[in-house]
């Protein structure tokens, strides 16, 4: 049985002092025994947020990471910096990084492998544009993103990763994918993992849905057979995040 996960992606929001206030406000409401809860926060907020959630079941995640160990890469963050700061998860390949910062599949594969090498859990993002959906190439496009990201990753490491399916047209638009659309792609991703790694890995790996998840749609989305939780943007900055984490109680 896969454990559900709800991860907040704070994106480029919250100064360190605001971040601590939000983490402290959410902490008592999102400490869940059933759901793994992660706050993925801006790099500068990692240390104070890790301190704020100490002693709770909440994990801290990063929103990005570089694939080199250290050195002359001005402005980048190395994996062991994240580990030392108390980070467990790292978002890799969010569509905003692919789109605005030109991160490509080859780079993302390096990041996935480097994160694993440092025992960080990658939350690997994938998802199609509206044009791709309309052209009917969603499944083949996402399959290629997944296959490329997992290149040279052995099964024993792949199984520990988390995949987040985030259709680009549903991010920050209020336009959520229907449960059927979300399930269809998440099911296809699991099938892709089955082809790459076999049944056991496919059954164990967690696949999240992201894109306008809110307190009203979380329960239905998370009830789908291949959706193991959510990667939440806008609603992760509000008390509503607690309702999403506690989606079973709310509905």
Return the active site residues.
94, 166
Residue nearest to ligand 13P (CB): 233
Of 49-57, 131-139, 152-160, 228-236, the segment contacting ligand 13P by CB under 6 A is: 228-236
140-179: which residues touch ligand 13P (CB under 6 A)?
166, 171-172
- Grouping H, G, I as helix, E, B as strand and the rest as coil, residue 9 is strand
The smaller minimum CB distance to ligand 13P, of residues 215 and 231, is found at 231
- Identified binder of ligand 13P from the candidate list 233, 242, 246, 247, rule CB under 6 A: 233
The smaller minimum CB distance to ligand 13P, of residues 82 and 124, is found at 124
Tokens for 213?
């998840």
- Identified binder of ligand 13P from the candidate list 30, 37, 38, 231, rule CB under 6 A: 231
Rounded to the nearest whole angstrom, what is the least distance from the CB of residue 105 to ligand 13P in the complex? Answer: 18
Of 68-76, 145-153, 193-201, 205-213, the segment contacting ligand 13P by CB under 6 A is: 205-213
Q: How far apart are CA 207 and CA 229, in angstroms?
A: 7
Of 64-72, 101-109, 148-156, 208-216, the segment contacting ligand 13P by CB under 6 A is: 208-216
- Identified binder of ligand 13P from the candidate list 211, 218, 243, 245, rule CB under 6 A: 211
Secondary structure, 3-state, the chain:
CCCEEEEEECCCCCCHHHHHHHHHHHHHHHCCCCEEEEEEECHHHHHHHHHHCCCCCCEEEECCCCCCCCCCCCCCCCHHHHHHCCEEEEEECCHHHHHHCCCCHHHHHHHHHHHHHCCCEEEEEECCCHHHHHHCCHHHHHHHHHHHHCCCCCHHHHCCCEEEECCHHHCCCCCCCCHHHHHHHHHHHHHHHHHHHCHHHHHHCEEEEECCCCCCCHHHHHCCCCCCEEEECHHHHCCHHHHHHCHHHHC
Give CA separation, 14 vs 17, 19, 28, 45, 143, in Å: 8, 5, 19, 8, 34
Rounded to the nearest whole angstrom, what is the least distance from the CB of residue 89 to ligand 13P in the complex? Answer: 12
The smaller minimum CB distance to ligand 13P, of residues 73 and 101, is found at 101
- Identified binder of ligand 13P from the candidate list 232, 242, 244, 245, rule CB under 6 A: 232
Q: Does 192 bind ligand 13P (CB under 6 A)?
A: no
Of 53-61, 146-154, 180-188, 204-212, the segment contacting ligand 13P by CB under 6 A is: 204-212
88-107: which residues touch ligand 13P (CB under 6 A)?
94
Q: Contact positions toward ligand 13P, by CB under 6 A? A: 9, 94, 166, 171-172, 210-213, 231-235
């Amino acid at each position: 049985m896969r454990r559900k996960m709800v991860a907040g992606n704070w994106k480029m929001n919250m100064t360190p002092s605001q971040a601590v206030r939000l983490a402290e406000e959410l902490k008592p409401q999102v400490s869940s025994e059933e759901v793994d809860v992660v706050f993925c926060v801006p790099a500068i907020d990692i240390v104070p947020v890790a301190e704020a959630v100490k002693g709770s079941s909440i994990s801290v995640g990063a929103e990005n990471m570089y694939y080199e160990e250290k050195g002359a890469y001005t402005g980048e963050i190395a994996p062991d910096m994240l580990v030392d700061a108390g980070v467990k998860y790292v978002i890799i390949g969010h569509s905003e990084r692919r789109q605005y910062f030109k991160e490509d599949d080859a780079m993302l594969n390096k990041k996935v492998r480097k994160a694993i090498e440092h025992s960080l859990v990658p939350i690997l993002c994938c998802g199609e544009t509206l044009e791709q959906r309309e052209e009917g190439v969603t499944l083949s496009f996402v399959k290629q993103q997944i296959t490329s990201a997992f290149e040279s990753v052995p099964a024993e490491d792949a199984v520990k990763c988390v995949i987040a399916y985030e259709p680009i047209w549903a991010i920050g638009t209020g336009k959520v994918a229907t449960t059927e659309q979300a399930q269809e792609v998440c099911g296809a991703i699991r099938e892709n993992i089955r082809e790459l790694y076999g049944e056991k890995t496919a059954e164990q790996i967690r696949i999240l849905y992201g894109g306008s998840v809110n307190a009203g749609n979380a329960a239905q989305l998370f009830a789908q057979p291949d959706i193991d939780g959510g990667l939440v943007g806008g609603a992760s900055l509000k008390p509503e995040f607690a309702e999403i984490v506690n989606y079973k109680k709310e509905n």
